[in-house]
Amino acid sequence: MTATLISHYGAMSVYDYRCTAGPNSTPFPEHHTSHSLAYVRKGSFGCTKRGRSFELVAGSLLVGYPGDEYVCSHDHHVCGDECLSFILAPELVDRLGSKRDIWQSGSVPPLPDLMVIGELAQAARDGRSDIGLDEAGHLFASRFIETVSGQARQPQQIAARDRRRAVEAALWIDAHSHTPIELEDAAGEAGLSPFHFLRLFSNVLGVTPHQYLVRSRLRHAARLLPDHDRSITDIAYEVGFGDLSNFVRTFHRAAGVSPRGFRQASNGDRKILQERLVRH
């Protein structure tokens, strides 16, 4: 695991985490020292904390609470993972006004509004956006609290083999999300009937296969939208949407702003950020 400090903004620090661990690596306990939000950009990993197990794939969020012990593993994926992590000082957490149980949730499944903001933050980190990384980080933390309140889920105990099937299916869906994928296609890749695959995938990852497919397309679109050399129509088709109107409608529902508005925000239009942050 390599941790690179990208920026420090008083009450917030931003790190780039890259892990190359695989199935043969020995898991070991670690401790969260601060409140943190780690957005999974690539790969997958498992995490056990507070007696609960989670599987995180691209678009998921690992939530850190000070003093919590956690153990991460890579039993289902040989390529490791990459995360963009926001470390929040206590005074910032207090200003956000969040409840303690939100920060003890462990993880958050791939949710569309958090994914597109995560990609906006990554664009800022890469220098592909005129939005400040600190601005994107505050927006991300604010949106996390707003979105996750009342959405906590209770993961079920599922055998390791079945958890692996779900994670591998999610990786396959993400890699092929630009192509048409039906439930039967993904179930066939997992070697399960559609009924059992749907139930397993949903129980392990907290979203249905189709939800993850659409959210993968949204995440890839959010990654491409800051590039003005690509038309929005081309991006819609490139990431797998069948028509422009469906893409615009789905993106707006997820991000609260149109693809064009998101592009404008990534290139310096602070109005969108201000409208998001004023709620808190």
pLDDT tens series, the chain, 280 aa: 899 999 998 899 999 999 988 888 888 889 999 999 999 999 999 999 988 899 999 999 999 999 999 999 887 666 689 999 999 999 989 888 878 888 998 999 999 889 999 999 999 899 888 788 888 898 899 889 988 886 545 556 788 889 999 999 999 999 999 999 999 999 999 999 998 999 899 999 989 999 999 999 999 999 999 998 899 999 999 999 999 999 999 999 888 889 999 998 888 766 665 565 444 4
**pLDDT, position 149:** 81
**pLDDT, position 147:** 84
In terms of C-beta density within 10 A (0-12 exposed, 13-18 middle, 19 or more buried), how is residue 99 classed? Answer: exposed
Our CA dihedral for 55, 58, 59, 60, rounded to 10 degrees, sits at 20
Our CA dihedral for 9, 13, 18, 21, rounded to 10 degrees, sits at 170
Q: How many CB atoms lie within 10 A of CB 45?
A: 24
pTM, to two decimals? 0.81
Close Cβ partners of 170 (under 8 Å, ≥ 6 residues apart)? 44, 57, 58, 201, 205, 212
**pLDDT, position 278:** 46
Checking DSSP bridges between strand 107-108 and strand 61-64, what pairing results, if any?
antiparallel
The beta-carbon contacts of 266-269 under 8 Å, at least 24 apart in sequence, are 266/120, 266/123, 266/124, 266/128, 266/129, 266/130, 266/131, 266/225, 266/226, 267/129, 267/130, 267/131, 267/226, 267/228, 268/129, 268/130, 268/131
Reported as a single tens digit per residue, the pLDDT across 94-105 is 888 878 888 998
**pLDDT, position 280:** 43
**pLDDT, position 219:** 95
Are the C-beta atoms of 105 and 28 separated by less than 8 Å?
Answer: no
**pLDDT, position 279:** 47
